[in-house]
């Protein structure tokens, strides 16, 4: 039988892997069971973090401009948004023994900024020591996707941000990084998002049910 407790679930993966859709589906399944659950995202999740999200994801510089965000400026914006998110949403929800489902968290910073953009990992780790305050996921779902399906899904997107326009090689490298981060970690589950939606949703819910002892 389910006993109420704080529990943190994170969905990770590259653009168009389906993590946002699957996190919403899991949220609905848990709400249907009347389990106190919140759904949130990074960057974003709070008013202040959403303001920073807009700054990060909108391409304020024209294609012809020589001025772009430096990779460390970019990283600091992500970490600033995360700090606000943890303080104002994630931690309060966990203290109330709610389940928190988050679309992206720290592994995205490692996959994109460290492995993708070559930001010094110590720079990120030192800031994380200050802002995470012991908050870490109980389960991480990493959704992998084929290049073909990824390309097709991105083409169909009506609204895009600057992270949707990277070269396919960047996403390939990021996906490898996510899989590498999951290696030898028992609470990480690498799942193929290219498979049938219903099967994948059943797998995710089955894993969560076992962890939480939901009937």
Burial level of 208, CB count in 10 A (0-12/13-18/19+)?
buried
pTM over 0.75: yes
Domain of residue 17 covers 7-212
- Compute how many other C-beta atoms are within 10 angstroms of the C-beta atom of residue 60: 11
**Which tens digit of pLDDT belongs to each residue from 95-131?**
999 999 999 999 999 999 999 999 999 999 999 999 9
Q: Taking Cα atoms as reference points, which of 10, 17, 54 lies closest to residue 171?
A: 17
The domain total for the chain is 1
Domain-located, residue 2:
no
Q: Which residue has the higher pLDDT, 119 or 158?
A: 119
**Which tens digit of pLDDT belongs to each residue from 187-206?**
999 999 987 778 999 999 99
Measured distance CA(192)–CA(97) in Å, rounded: 30
Q: Quick one: pLDDT at residue 117? A: 93
- Whether the predicted pLDDT of 152 surpasses 80: no
Buried b (16+ CB within 10 A) or exposed e, 148-181: eebeebbeeeeeeeeeeebeeebbebbbebbeeb
Domain-located, residue 100:
yes
**Which tens digit of pLDDT belongs to each residue from 11-20?**
999 988 999 9
Pair of tokens at residue 185 = 């970690």
Q: Which CATH number covers residue 44?
A: 3.40.50.300
């Amino acid at each position: 039988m389910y006993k109420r407790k704080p529990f943190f679930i994170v969905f990770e993966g590259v653009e168009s892997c389906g993590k946002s859709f699957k996190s919403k589906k899991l949220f609905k399944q848990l709400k249907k069971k009347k389990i106190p659950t919140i759904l949130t995202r990074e960057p974003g999740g709070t008013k202040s973090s959403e303001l920073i999200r807009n700054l990060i994801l909108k391409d304020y510089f024209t294609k012809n401009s020589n001025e772009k965000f430096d990779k460390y400026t970019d990283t600091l914006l992500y970490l600033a948004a995360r700090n606000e998110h943890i303080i104002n949403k994630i931690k309060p929800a966990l203290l109330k023994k709610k389940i928190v489902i988050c679309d992206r968290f720290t592994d995205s910073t490692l996959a994109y900024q460290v492995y993708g953009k070559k930001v010094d990992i110590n720079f990120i780790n030192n800031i994380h020591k200050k802002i995470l305050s012991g908050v870490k996921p109980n389960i991480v779902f990493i959704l992998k996707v084929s290049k073909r399906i990824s390309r097709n899904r991105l083409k169909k997107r009506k609204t895009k941000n600057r992270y949707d326009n990277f070269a396919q090689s960047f996403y390939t490298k990021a996906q490898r990084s996510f899989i590498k981060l999951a290696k030898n970690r028992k609470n990480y589950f690498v799942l193929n998002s290219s498979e049938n939606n219903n099967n994948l949703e059943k797998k995710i819910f089955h894993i969560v049910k076992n962890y939480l002892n939901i009937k």
